[in-house]
Chains A and B, each alone.
Chain A
Amino acid sequence: MASTPEENDRNSKLRSVSVDLNNDASLMIDIPDALCERDKVKFTVHTKTTLDAFQKPEFSVPRQHEDFIWLHDTLDETEEYAGLIIPPSPPKPDFESPREKMHKLGEGEATMTKEEYTKMKQELEAEYLAVFKKTVQVHEVFLQRLSSHPVLSKDRNFQIFLEYEQDLSVRRKNAKEMFGGFFKNMVKTADEVIISGIKEVDDFFDQEKTFLLDYYNKIRDATTKAEKMTRAHKNVADDYIHFSATLDSLSADESTALKMYLLKLAELFEKLRKVEGRVASDEDLKLTELLRYYMRDIQAAKDLLYRRARALADYESSNKALDKARLKSKEVQQAEEHQQLCCQKFEKLSESGKRELISFKGRRVVAFRKNLIEMAELEIKHAKSSVSLLQSCIDMLKTN
């Protein structure tokens, strides 16, 4: 689906969880197009650049979700970037909810009128489209975070991702590597336990650790609850469809003065359900998606802390090794070099880590502010339009 100017506009409004990232003309990335084939989504990644590192000034490549994951994991494992917050990988496209609803709708087709069925189907198609748009946005933001990062934008693998015209599956993790990654995660978790016991020397990082660990749990809980809330809201909006349709059939059979009343009521609820549906989807985008995004971002920040703690542990053990070597007067040179390396690594990590975490906080606060304001404004707008719809219906019915 090629995007029109209006769609681009809407897309940029959707892209609200993060501040505008795509304004550096030297490297601009977007996903103008995406195709949905059964379970697979094929994204068209479009790049415009003035940098010499690239072969052409403008180009597009097709990419799958797995390619994004590969890119993220590659960056995550790069030693050099240990002191950076790696932007969280986009979540897998999840069409489960609308698909399930579509299935249920098909089963219940016999129980509803043709109009009702059509409306429900339209509603589900819109839901499907919303999920689709969300997944495009989330993949796009991932790339844009990379492109606007001073260090990560220069990564070779990133360039390959953007440019390489062939299928990336060759470079993607093969089964062995994937298992390796799985074990690595397990080891990491075990290490985290050990490392959280390490005495922190730096106040800043000490506070950050406490804060991030706690905040992560809270925001994860808030994300789940927000999602339940917006889903329940959507259910109410859907109920209005059935309500309106039944009122319509009632009105058709009615011969008394009630006929007009019921008809007007049916029309009203058809309009109201659209408003309610928009309330639900706005809440979803501005609140649930916001929380979800920053939950993942905080996980990335936690990962940074973990890497630093690991480096600290290495540094401390290298110190001990050096002491031991000095004691035994054996391989002191080696131990000294090793200790130096660990020290440098640790200090570099700490320095960059601190920078990253501070800018992360700023980013988070700005994003929350923007989204909370937008959500409140939208809620007010929708409630006002509901009031006007309801009031005009009441007035019309009362004068009759």
Chain B
Amino acid sequence: MATEREPPPLGDAEQTDFRELEDGDDLFISTASTLESSPTSPEPASLPAEDICANSNGPQPAEISLDDDLEDLFAEATEEVSLDSPEREPILSDEPSPAVTPVTPTALVTPRVEPKTIFVPAMFERSKEELEEEANGDSFDMEIVVSDPEKVGDGMNAYMAYKVTTKTSLTIFNENEFSVKRRFSDFLGLHSKLATKYMHIGYIVPPAPEKSIVGMTKVKVGKEDSSSTEFVEKRRAALERYLERTVKHPTLLHDPDVMQFLESSELPRAVSTQALSGAGILRMVNKAAEAVNKMTIKMNESDAWFEEKQQQFENLDQQLRKLHTSVESLVCHRKELSVNTAAFAKSAAMLGNSEDHTALSRALSQLAEVEEKIDQLHQEQAYADFYLFAELLSDYVRLLTAVKGVFDQRMKTWQKWQDAQAMLQKKREAESKLQFANKPDKLQQAKDEIREWEGKVQQGERDFEQISKTIRKEVGRFEKERVRDFKAVIIKYLESLVQTQQQLIKYWEAFLPEAKAIA
């Protein structure tokens, strides 16, 4: 019965929400089908369709207007809960409420994705997953390179401009290869927009790289030493990783701000990025988390999964920080080793010059040369230690903060729902009191308010369901990414170590005959 349906005419948006009809009767042709447990007239809660269409810049929480337009119940897609999820239970409550929730932008802002014509019952989630698989798996074809840092301007107003080149075969973009010039505040601006749009509904938005006053000042002032070059390189690499992570996220990839960032040659200057830096956003999130904790939310956790995951991420965070510290120490010591080896090389060269035995003198000079090459080797290895490992770890420490933030948003959402329920209770009590007073006006008002808050309660519940669901998916994706990232980096790092050792063998094997030649 639910196998073949034509895609409902929903403008450009793709229809992704389907639910098997229980009794097949109440099919709302306007858009999606809904799950209706009973044919009783549903509570008036309509969703203006326009809220969730391609024109919007992101998902807005569906506004529930108390229109009396009872027929137009399902202007847009239905709730994104699969039939079998436990979260469904609360929805099939006494009050048959049309479980309507805002559809995520992925489903909507995809003007060029072919709408699926085969609708498998209760497969909403899966079909969306298939979409994401396409975005993430073999057919994901997108390469972003941040390069050519260029200093623009002079003095304290100077800044670094980076070239952002995108190579892709995805059809959502106008071309296959294009590049733009961006500065650091542009990246921060992008992140702040994404965080504002997506974090409160449970999406893990990759954090932008940190601001660094010291680093940037050196560059502005024109200090052309190795530390400022290192700083620029570190930043360039961090910006590249940031973009790569962002576009790997199927939802964020299709976000118009992201596409604009990658494609359009002119970008409006992001203002007040001071507050909107990666650190700024995370600070906001942390403050929210603190506030949440201070409210001493004793959340009635119906799903142990969330508690477990939170604990797991807490542990992971601690361990990663510890590992990061140990890698930093390694980098530091290796750099020291490199410097000391260089100093020894010079000293050995001087000793070789001073030596009056010819063959020994030559051998000592050769030793000096070997040690000089080795010091280079140590330095390169230190770079590998850093850029491969240390930066990966610090990226993940910051990502975990975003993850924690998202869990806290869920708590906030839950609290909002509870608050709405409390308010509804109050209104009901007020109404029942008024029942016995002879004030028809006030009674009507009370009834209206009850209806309003009932709607809010339903919305709160839906929001909570939605964010819980989103988080589950996001966490799944995050873990997959994490495993992939770490595996790749570990292999690369080990290969760098192998290379270093093989070079060492070469150098010493070249030296050995020189030592043997001492007569």
A-B interaction: yes
B-contact 0/1 string along A225-264, CB 8 Å cutoff:
1101101110110011011001101100101111001100
A394:B498 contact, CB within 8 angstroms: yes
A228 near B487 (CB under 8 angstroms)? Answer: no
With both chains docked as a complex, state the minimum distance between the C-beta of B486 and any C-beta of chain A, in angstroms.
Answer: 5
A372 touches B515 (CB 8 A): yes
B422 contacts the other chain (Cβ, under 8 Å)? Answer: no
For residue B284, CB closer than 8 A to chain A, the reply is no
What separation, in Å, do the CA atoms of A249 and B322 have in the docked complex? 10
Residues of A within 8 A of B515 (CB): 369, 372-373, 376
- Contact: A372 with B518, CB < 8 Å? yes
Is B327 interfacial (CB-CB < 8 Å)? yes
How would residues 498 to 513 of chain B score, 1 for a CB under 8 Å from any chain A CB and 0 otherwise?
Answer: 1001101100110110
Q: A377: which B residues are within 8 A, CB to CB?
A: 512
Q: Are A368 and B360 in contact (CB under 8 A)?
A: yes
**Cross-chain contact A261 with B490 (CB below 8 angstroms):** yes
Residue of A at shortest CB range from B345?
A225
How many angstroms between the C-alpha atoms of A393 and B501 in the bound complex? 15
Interface range on chain A (Cβ under 8 Å from partner) = 35 or more
Q: Which residues on the A side are within 8 Å of B315 (C-beta)?
A: 253
A185 beta carbon closer than 8 Å to chain B: no
B366 CB to nearest A CB, Å = 9
Which of A225, A253, A383 is within 8 Å of B316, CB to CB? A253
In the complex the two chains form, what is the Cα distance from A235 to B335 in whole Å?
11
Taking CB atoms, residues of chain A closer than 8 Å to B56 are none
The interface bits of chain B over 479-508 (1 if a CB of A lies within 8 angstroms of the residue's CB, else 0) are: 100110011001100110110011011001
Mostly, the B contact residues are helix
When the two chains form the complex, which single residue of B316, B330, B486, B509 contacts A243, counting CB atoms closer than 8 Å?
B330
Q: In the bound complex, do residue B347 and residue A222 qualify as a contact, i.e. CB atoms below 8 Å apart?
A: yes
B341 touches A229 (CB 8 A): yes
User: Nearest-CB distance from B205 to chain A (Å)?
Assistant: 22
Q: How many residues of B contact A (CB 8 A)?
A: 56
B343 x A232 contact (CB < 8 A): no
Given contacts A219-B351, A253-B312, A256-B482, contact A242 B329 (CB under 8 A): yes
Complex contact A232–B348 (CB within 8 A): no
With A256-B483, A261-B487, A397-B490: A233-B516 Cβ-Cβ less than 8 Å: no
> Chain A at the B interface: mostly helix, strand, loop or mixed?
helix
Q: Which residues of B contact A372 (CB under 8 A)?
A: 363, 367, 515, 518
Q: Which residues of A contact B508 (CB under 8 A)?
A: 376, 379-380, 383
Q: Is the CB of A228 within 8 A of B518?
A: no
**CA of A89 to CA of B225, assembled, Å:** 47
Given the interface contacts A242-B326, A376-B508, A391-B498, does A258 sit within 8 Å of B483 by beta carbon?
Answer: yes
Would you call A99 an interface residue if the criterion is a C-beta within 8 Å of the partner chain's C-beta atoms? no
- Contact for A383 among B326, B482, B501, CB less than 8 A: B501
The total of Cβ contacts below 8 Å across the A-B interface reads: 158
| CA of A268 to CA of B490, assembled, Å | 12
Which A residues lie within 8 Å of B509 (CB)?
Answer: 376, 380
Distance (Å) between the CB of B397 and the closest chain A CB?
13
Binds B, one of A42-50, A210-218, A329-337: A210-218
**A232, B333: Cβ atoms closer than 8 Å:** yes
Contacts A226-B344, A250-B319; A397 near B491 (Cβ below 8 A) = yes
A241 to B512, CA, bound (A): 31
**Which of B323, B341, B479, B490 is the one whose CB lies under 8 Å from A256?**
B479
Contact between B498 and A222, CB atoms less than 8 A apart: no
What residue of chain B has the Cβ atom nearest to residue A215's Cβ? B354
A218 to chain B, nearest CB (A): 4
Pair B482/A258 contact, Cβ less than 8 Å: yes
Interface residues of A in 355-400 (CB under 8 A from B): 361, 364-365, 368-369, 372-373, 376-377, 379-380, 383-384, 386-387, 390-391, 393-394, 397-398
24 residue pairs of the A-B complex, CB under 8 angstroms, read: A211-B354, A215-B355, A218-B351, A222-B350, A224-B347, A225-B340, A236-B334, A240-B330, A250-B320, A253-B316, A255-B312, A258-B482, A258-B486, A365-B357, A365-B518, A368-B360, A368-B364, A368-B518, A369-B360, A372-B363, A387-B505, A397-B490, A397-B491, A397-B494
18 additional contacts (CB under 8 A) given A225-B346, A373-B515: A214-B354, A215-B354, A218-B354, A221-B351, A229-B341, A239-B329, A239-B330, A249-B319, A250-B320, A256-B482, A265-B494, A368-B364, A369-B518, A383-B508, A384-B501, A384-B505, A387-B498, A390-B501
